[in-house]
Structure 1
Amino acid sequence: MRILFAGTPEVAVPSLRALADAGFDVAAVLSRVDAPLGRRKILTPSPVAAAAKDLGLPGLKANRFTPELIEQLTMLHLDAAAIVAYGGIVPPAALAVPEHGWINLHFSVLPQWRGAAPVQHAVLAGDSVTGATTFLLEEGLDTGPGLGVMTETPDPAATSGGGLARLSSSGAGRLVRPRGDRGAGRVTATPQTGEPSAAPKLTIDDARVDWAQPAAGVRRRINAVTPEPGAWTTLAGQRVKLGPVTPLDGGAPEHADDGMPLDRPGPGVVHLVDREVRVGTGSTPVVLGTLQPAGKKTMCALDWARGAATRGELVFE
């Protein structure tokens, strides 16, 4: 089966490798153009473009489907196209190019979490089941009929970055299984059923922690925006980036390292207890692992708290 693969970030690489290993004739790999990375803004190929080069596959780079690109794709005489996190809309003219259409791998159990950030929203909502769905791409946003789905139970402590990496690996097999069978009528596309939900990209404003929320909600918020766009709060008017936290279990300890009372701190109040940096929430405190103060590198929360204790009471806002 002669196919095009379209994808850009690291999470699309397992799917490309799975298709190549399964013996598909990958006529070309389409990814977005090289992007400037790092402090020196060096133009760098996308992870998918780099993987295509390693696999010896022809590469195409474009941020949108121009008439010239569509003509190039037409000349490839494609049976089908597979797309995973390409990062651009496929217009009707491009949808019509492959004989058997485009198969999209989406990291949710559709119709839940249609959009750019399905795993982030699943983490934020505290979903008890996550998964990946293959479906036939159409003009609507993740609305096409489904071809297959896999599900799994997420780790409540996992970040969206970790969850996405896991699903990108376990979900890659969903692209391989239909193979050429759809043209022979052995794979049935089934219309999506159930109430859809939207998963737009989370913004930096969405990443601000509300300490008045219960501990479980604080953890979900932080995990959902880790690594991107990154959780944050403010301290004395300056932004502080936060790593994942752990809700505190069990009773109160017998003593506090900093001499502060052992009763439950108010929302956002920081104190050091038994070599733990605890932050008050709307319920029980959470234990902070790492953070990055303004203008500094990421550091252990315990080291930061010991140095900051001389400033008096610390309250995240």
Structure 2
Amino acid sequence: MRIVFAGSPITAVPTLDALVEAGHEVVAVVTRPDAPLGRRRVLTPSPVAAAAEERGLTVVRATRLDATATEQILAERPELGVIVAYGGLVREPLLSGPDHGWINLHFSALPAWRGASPVQHAIAHRVGAGASVFQLVPELDAGPLWSRRERPLTGDETTGDLLAELAVSGAADVVSAVAAIERGERPTEQSGEPSFAPKLGVDDARVDWNRRAEDVVAHIRAMTPEPGAHTSIGEVRVKVLAVAEAPEGAPSPPPGVVTAAGRAVLVGTASVPVRLLRVQPSGKKDMDAADWWRGLTTAEGITAS
């Protein structure tokens, strides 16, 4: 099948690879423009652009799927569009341009967590993880399903861990959906009450130590690696990269108060304390929380906020 593929981050690369390896003709790859990365702000292609160029595929760089991008895409006469985390909306006339329209790999068990941050919301709320391949329609993530898989949470996952896993299993689901389309099969309408996962920003990632420990830990894991859980110690913003349950019998300071028990650095919550494992103070490299604690000029009684 002649396919146009749209995606940007590393989580979209397994699907692009799977489509090519399945023998489909990927006539164009649409991705976000190159962006400055790192301290030196080096202009860097998206992971999808890099993967496509390695394969010698035609790359269309577009901030949004406007008239110019639509003309470029439809000129390739695609039979099907496949989109995975591109970062922009597909509207008419592009939506119905390919013979079979567009299918979308979405990282939730729809209709749970429609929107931009499904994995973060699933982990933060400790419910509803999975992946779905659906037929794209004008309404947000509401199209009929080609496949739907649920993935129970263990409580240990970060968003980065779970996305990496679902990117691989979801790629196989996309290839199966394309085969079903080739056979003339029809998708199944979504059923159940939808929930929504709006885009998250830096402010959403601030840790609220006044919540119960299980909610604090789930929030931190949900925000890892992006947008990045963080707290403030005085005027310094500190990223919280990894946490765990506090050791049995550990002291329980008030919510937000940081203390130590041996090498364990603890922060109080509304229930039991949380143990910090790795942190990254602003402007520094990530480090073991115990090393960070020893380096503070003020120790006992400091408060995270």
Establish whether residue 31 from structure 1 lines up as the match of residue 31 from structure 2.
yes
Instruction: Provide the residue aligned with 2:303 in structure 1.
Output: 315
Cα distance in 2 for residues equivalent to 1:15 and 1:118: 18
Separation of aligned partners in 1, 2:267 and 2:226: 22
Check conservation: 2:126, 2:153, Cα contact below 8 A: no
Matched, 1:72 2:60: no
Counterpart position of 1:220: 218
Residue by residue, what CA displacement relative to the aligned partner does 1:91-111 show, whole Å, maximum 9, x if unpaired? 111011100110100000011
For residues 271 and 288 of structure 2, what CA distance do their matches in structure 1 show? 24
TM-score normalized by the length of structure 2: 0.95
TM-score scaled by length of structure 1: 0.91
Partner amino acid, structure 1, of 2:239: K
Matches of 2:68 and 2:200, distance apart in 1:
33
Cα distance in structure 2, aligned partners of 1:205 and 1:181: 42
Q: How does 1:6-85 map to 2 (within 5 A)?
A: 6-85=6-85
- 5+ residue gaps in structure 1? 253-262
2:133 match: 134
2:286 corresponds to which residue?
298
Quote the Cα distance in structure 1 between the aligned partners of 2:31 and 2:87: 9
**Compared CA separation, residues 147 and 241, structure 1 to 2 (3 A):** same
Render the CA deviation track for 1:170-193: whole Å, top value 9, x for unaligned. Answer: 1111110122442542x2211111
228-237 vs 45-54, which deviates more? 228-237
Q: Does structure 2 conserve the Cα–Cα contact (< 8 Å) formed by 1:91 and 1:139?
A: yes
* 2:259–2:299 contact (8 Å) kept in structure 1: no
**In 2, Cα distance between equivalents of 1:159 and 1:245:** 11
How far residue 250 of structure 1 moved from its aligned partner, in angstroms, is 2.8
Superposition RMSD in Å = 1.6
Instruction: Give the % identical residues.
Output: 49
Please give the per-residue CA displacement for 1:266-294, whole angstroms capped at 9, x wherever unaligned: 11122211311111111111110111223
Mapping for residues 196-235 of structure 1, pairs under 5 Å: 196-235=194-233
Q: Which residue of 2 aligns with 1:152?
A: 151
Give how far 1:251 is off: 3.0
- Indicate the larger mover: 172-181 or 208-217: 172-181
Spell out the pairing of 1:271-290 with structure 2 (5 A cutoff): 271-290=259-278
Contact kept, 8 Å, 2:259 with 2:300, in 1: the verdict is no
Q: What stretches of structure 2 of length at least 5 have no aligned partner?
A: none
Task: Indicate conservation of the 8 Å contact 1:154/1:163, yes or no.
Answer: no
The 8 Å contact of residues 100 and 183 in structure 1, kept in 2 or not, is answered as no
Partner residue, 2:176: 177
CA distance in 2, matches of 1:295, 1:64: 33
Q: Runs (4+) of structure 1 moved beyond 3 Å? A: 309-312
Q: Which amino acid aligns with 1:274?
A: G
Larger Rg, first or second structure (1 or 2): 1
Three-state SS of the structure 2 residue aligned to 1:206 is: helix
